[in-house]
Amino acid sequence: MTALLELRDVEARYGPVQVLRGVSLEVPEGSVVAVLGANGAGKTTTLRAISNTVRRSGELLFAGEPLGHRGPEAIARLGVAHVPEGRGTFAELTVWENLRLGAYTRPGSSLRSDPGRVLSYFPWLEDRRNQEAGTLSGGEQQMLALARAFVQRPRLLMLDEPSLGLAPVLVTEIFRIIRELNEQEGLTVLVVEQNAHLALQLAQTAYVLEVGRVALSGPSEELAAHESVRRSYLGY
């Protein structure tokens, strides 16, 4: 399987503060890859480096092509859907308008081409079409963000801490949907998570970041059994 996304020795900084000190990883097409690590390890920054919303250097290859200096909009157009920390939903717009924005990069003017698909995963959206997105609950907003990203019909879906601030029931639901999207739609997923337990269950491979570098990587089962991972991130 070819790697859809490849990072080689990527560095990133916020002003004078360097956060990524040479991160290398691979995301094979059609798989789910998790990025784990403590706060401040550089997980979010890794995703930002890919969508070029932070200053970065190093090699970043998408489908074999270097991303170069493309801006975030161009990268989105290449087929990368980045659901950031804080979800990136437009609270002031309606649910439907948020979804329409997901379809922004697709030719044609509206969502009419396949509303069915998104509604099959998120049927409740139909009733809330005209509701202002900011009035949705946290869990609903997260799902809206996911739905929006799906509408983009991306090749790579990047999720930044989808479980953050959500009740366990909702978290399970969201992860179930992500798994379905991966298995049934063939969506490649790169997920950054603090909830290592769920992430390792979902993903085939995982990378553990520490202080801006990859400390461990490998198939999820191996990492789940790994001594230090168990102690630091799984709690036993």
Partner 1 sequence: MAAAETRTGTQLRNGAASLRGLVRPIPLLLAGAVVFLALGSTFSTIFAQQTVAGLAQGAVYSSLALALVLIYRATEVINFAQGEMAMATTYVAYQLILWGLPYWGAFFVTLAVAFVFGTVVQLALIRPVQHKSVIAIVIITVGLFILIDGLVAWKWGADIKFMPSPFGQTVYHVGGVPVAQEDLGTLLVVVISVVLLWGLFRFTKLGLGMRAAALRPDAARLVGVRVDRMLAVGWGLAAVLGAVAGLMAEPAAFVLQPSFMQPILLYAFSAAVLGGLESPIGAVVGGLALGVFLNLVGQYVPFVTSEIRLPFAFLVLLVVLLIKPSGLFGRARVRRV
Distance (Å) of CA 160 to CA 24, 109, 125, 129, 216:
18, 29, 22, 25, 20
Residue of the chain from 37, 102, 162, 212 that contacts partner 1 (CB under 8 A)? 102
Task: Count the residues of the shown chain that bind partner 1, applying the rule CB under 8 A.
Answer: 26
CB of 65 to partner 1, least distance (A): 17
| 53 near partner 1 (CB under 8 A) | yes
The DSSP bridge partners found for residue 190 are 33, 158
Residue of the chain from 13, 70, 77, 117 that contacts partner 1 (CB under 8 A)? 77
Binding map of partner 1 across residues 8-47, x = CB under 8 A, - = no contact = ----------------------------------------
Residue of the chain from 100, 179, 226, 230 that contacts partner 1 (CB under 8 A)? 100
| 51 near partner 1 (CB under 8 A) | yes
- Which sign does the torsion angle of CA 204, 25, 161, 115 carry? negative
Residue of the chain from 45, 142, 152, 220 that contacts partner 1 (CB under 8 A)? 152
The total number of residues written for the chain in this structure: 236
| 110 near partner 1 (CB under 8 A) | yes
Helix (H, G, I), strand (E, B) or coil at 193: coil
Q: Are strands 188-192 and 156-160 parallel, antiparallel or unpaired?
A: parallel
| 148 near partner 1 (CB under 8 A) | yes
SS3 content of the chain, % helix, strand, coil (to 5): 40, 30, 30
Sheet strand arrangement including 205-210: 80-83, 156-160, 188-192, 32-37, 205-210, 213-219
The piece of 8-16, 84-92, 119-127, 221-229 that touches partner 1 (CB under 8 A) is: 84-92
Burial of 1 (0-12, 13-18, 19+ CB in 10 A): exposed
Contacting positions for partner 1 (CB under 8 A): 51, 53, 71-73, 76-77, 81-82, 84, 88-93, 97, 100-102, 104-105, 109-110, 148, 152
